[in-house]
Amino acid sequence: MNDNNQLDDFFGLKNRGDSDSPGIRETITKKIQSKLKIQLIPKALSRKERYVIAALVLVILGSIVAMPLATYFHFTEKAPDYDGKFTEGMINEPRHINPLLSQANDTDKDLVSLIYSGLLEYNGEGKIIPDLAQSYEISSDGLNYTVYLKENAYWHDGEKVTADDIIFTIQTTQNSDYGSPQRINWQGVQIEKVNDLAVMFKLQIKYAQFLNNLTLKILPKHVWQDIKPINFALSEFNLKPIGSGPYKFDRLKKDKDGRIRSYYLSANKEFYGGRPFINEIGIKFYISEDEMIDAYNRSEIEGLSFVSPDNLKRVKFKQRLTLRELQLPRYFAVFFNQNKNAVLPDKNIRLALSHATDKNALLKNVLEDRGIAVHSPMVGGVLEIPDNAKKYDYNPELAKTILETAGWISSRAVNKASGDVRPESSNDGRSKDKSGILSKKDQRLEIKITTSTWSELTKIAKIIEEQWEALGADVTIEVLPTPELQQAIKDRNYEALLFGAVLNIDPDPFSLWHSSQKKDPGLNLSLYDNKAADTLLEDARQTLNPLERAKKYDDFQKLVTEDIPAVFLYNPLYIHGPAKKIKGSNGSLISLPSDRFINIERWYIETKRVWK
């Protein structure tokens, strides 16, 4: 046996009797030659052919990788995930994060809306829906409201929410010793416990908008019951509250002067509406809107609680924000106090001033058209009330004609003989030509407009001053800081007040226009007194049918606009600027600025893939 055969037999490459089979050396040689041929292929191909083959190989490999990924993405979708946090700036620091005391401070109301819950709440479309309530029933006579509570509602300290908490909150509100501004809404209402999870409200007379009352946030009885009325506004629970809402108090930080500079909330993982997706909310407080915008421009905060239209141009990095334009049932107007000014009782004066007011100029020059003109106290175009009220269109020539016909003539004409037409100095130091001021007998057409230091209103006041002076009025502007303005409103110490009024989405303008509300704490800022209007307001409150109620309010607004107790100006959009990374916020019509946080437990930042 030769060496080749021995080698073949050893490796088992040769079968017995198969003398024609190649030996191991031939086999190895062929394999080496095959490999050499494969290695020579690239050299045998052109560059273009090599690129084509390489591309085909990449396509094949990419397809192998992409097919399972494509399948995964096809059968899954993005969904909210837990985690994430954001910071938002607010104006003014909190004082009373307490639903019975928060009415005077928007920051307090904002935090109350995040920490506390009411029996009912508004959704983002202006409809009332259950919150702490599982359901409710209204008796056929409209006098009894029975509310059933959710079984899985708990306070942030783990105690269960019961009917006792509801009763305690309402009775505390009704007790004048506690000083709640909400007291007026609960006078004459009795509350009874049906069982641990049900209460009944008993009304003495029908009140169509009573469901609005049930949006009041509820206090925990076990936390507040031992706090005496004298200490109610001083309790530490006003800054470190225990609520039942989607977020709970975590911590706060103060500066060296004791002012609260930041406030942090954490998600209530046991929230009856479902655990919130966003884990933490940080709030930082600023003295003014300008200071808040500066902080945003420095990246100190991620979102803005509010931006006035005129300040939008100051906001940098708008691409980081989602600018939400929300409608509120509110309006701004110039309210006339005919008891404080000798010329305002003359209806011709009020009519002429109405025609001399260019509302579109206000919207364009101050609000950048982010709002609508308002012509009545029912905010036509926002609420479901017919927009049939009389409108006083801008017509300065008609305004002048009205006054001339009524006997008002310019001081220039009166003093022409003496030639005394020297300009006088205005209250802001500018030279002000008063030779064209209208007068009638010994009365001059003089009006003082009182308003707040808020830049939007001071700019509005300045434009109105120019428009009314073009008519022949001598207008001065009084700008008051908030404490002084509040006192002036309380005392009704103003001639013409440039201010705002807020309605509910299901409106009840009783406190704003009924003659019984002319004195504080009523809000009848024009001291309006019309018996027919009073009757309509009283009847509308007791009319449960919404269409019939809307008809009464339509008749009411026609009376008001005919009497001209105010010049209604505009309804501005509320511009909220949350961080763009936040998703899930919705709604377009809210009852209060704090309602911008509606459905916040469903807002999210992080996402994950889930099967469809």
pLDDT for res 428: 43
Query: What is the per-residue pLDDT across 289-341, written as a single tens digit (0 to 9) for each?
Result: 999 999 999 999 999 999 999 899 999 999 999 999 999 999 999 999 999 99
pLDDT for res 71: 77
* Rounded Cα distance, 334 and 349, in Å: 14
Model confidence band, residue 380 (pLDDT cutoffs 50, 70, 90): low
Dihedral through CA 579, CA 582, CA 586, CA 592, nearest 10? Answer: -50
- Mean pLDDT for 512-524 is 92
* 61 pLDDT above the threshold of 70: yes
pLDDT for res 4: 52
* 59 pLDDT above the threshold of 50: yes
Find how far residue 350's CA is from the centre of its chain: 33
Query: What is the per-residue pLDDT across 213-257, written as a single tens digit (0 to 9) for each?
Result: 999 999 999 999 999 999 999 999 999 999 999 999 999 999 999
Task: Find residue 135's DSSP bridge partners.
Answer: 148
- Mean pLDDT for 53-58 is 84
Q: When comparing pLDDT for 75 and 397, which is higher?
A: 397
Closest CA to 166 of 244, 102, 219: 219
Contact 68, 75 (CB under 8 A): no
Please name the residue that has the structure tokens 């006192």: 487
Query: What is the per-residue pLDDT across 145-175, written as a single tens digit (0 to 9) for each?
Result: 999 999 999 999 999 999 999 999 999 999 9
Domains of the chain: 22-74 (no CATH), 85-327+574-611 (3.40.190.10), 330-572 (3.10.105.10)
DSSP state of 187: T
For 460, the token pair is 């509005």
- Mean pLDDT for 602-612 is 92
Q: How far apart are the first and last CA of the chain?
A: 73
Model confidence band, residue 417 (pLDDT cutoffs 50, 70, 90): very low
Query: What is the per-residue pLDDT across 39-52, written as a single tens digit (0 to 9) for each?
Result: 656 666 677 777 78
Give the pairing type, strands 260-267 and 280-286. antiparallel
Model confidence band, residue 431 (pLDDT cutoffs 50, 70, 90): very low
Model confidence band, residue 21 (pLDDT cutoffs 50, 70, 90): low
Please name the residue that has the structure tokens 């191991």: 24
Residue 235: CB atoms within 10 A of its CB come to 16
- Mean pLDDT for 559-574 is 97
Residue/partner pairs of 57-61 with CB below 8 Å, 24 or more apart: none
% of residues, the chain, pLDDT over 90: 74
DSSP state of 26: H
Q: What are phi and psi of 573, to 5 degrees?
A: -70, 145
pLDDT for res 69: 76
pLDDT for res 588: 85
Please name the residue that has the structure tokens 């479901």: 384
Q: Please, what is the average pLDDT of the chain?
A: 89
* Rounded Cα distance, 261 and 93, in Å: 7
- Mean pLDDT for 407-421 is 64
pLDDT for res 31: 64
Q: Is 22 helix (H, G, I), strand (E, B) or coil?
A: coil
Q: Which residues of 10-40 are buried (b: 16+ CB within 10 A; e: fewer)?
A: eeebbeeeeeeeebbeeeeeeeeeeeeeeee
Residue 65: CB atoms within 10 A of its CB come to 9
Q: When comparing pLDDT for 270 and 387, which is higher?
A: 270
pLDDT for res 611: 85
**Amino acid sitting at position 34:** S
- Mean pLDDT for 599-606 is 96
Closest CA to 115 of 327, 227, 276, 231: 276
Contact 181, 98 (CB under 8 A): no
Model confidence band, residue 421 (pLDDT cutoffs 50, 70, 90): very low
**What string of H, E and C letters represents the secondary structure of 264-322?**
EEEECCCCCCCCCCCCEEEEEEECCHHHHHHHHHCCCCCEECCCCHHHHHHCCCHHHEC
- Mean pLDDT for 177-182 is 92
- Give the E-state strand segments of 414-462 in sequence order: 424-425, 431-432, 438-440, 443-444, 446-452
* 263 pLDDT above the threshold of 70: yes
% of residues, the chain, pLDDT over 70: 88
* 139 pLDDT above the threshold of 90: yes
pLDDT for res 610: 87
Contact 191, 170 (CB under 8 A): yes
What's the pTM value of the predicted model, to 2 decimals? Answer: 0.81
pLDDT for res 36: 57
Please name the residue that has the structure tokens 């076990």: 222
pLDDT for res 48: 77
Task: Find residue 160's DSSP bridge partners.
Answer: 154
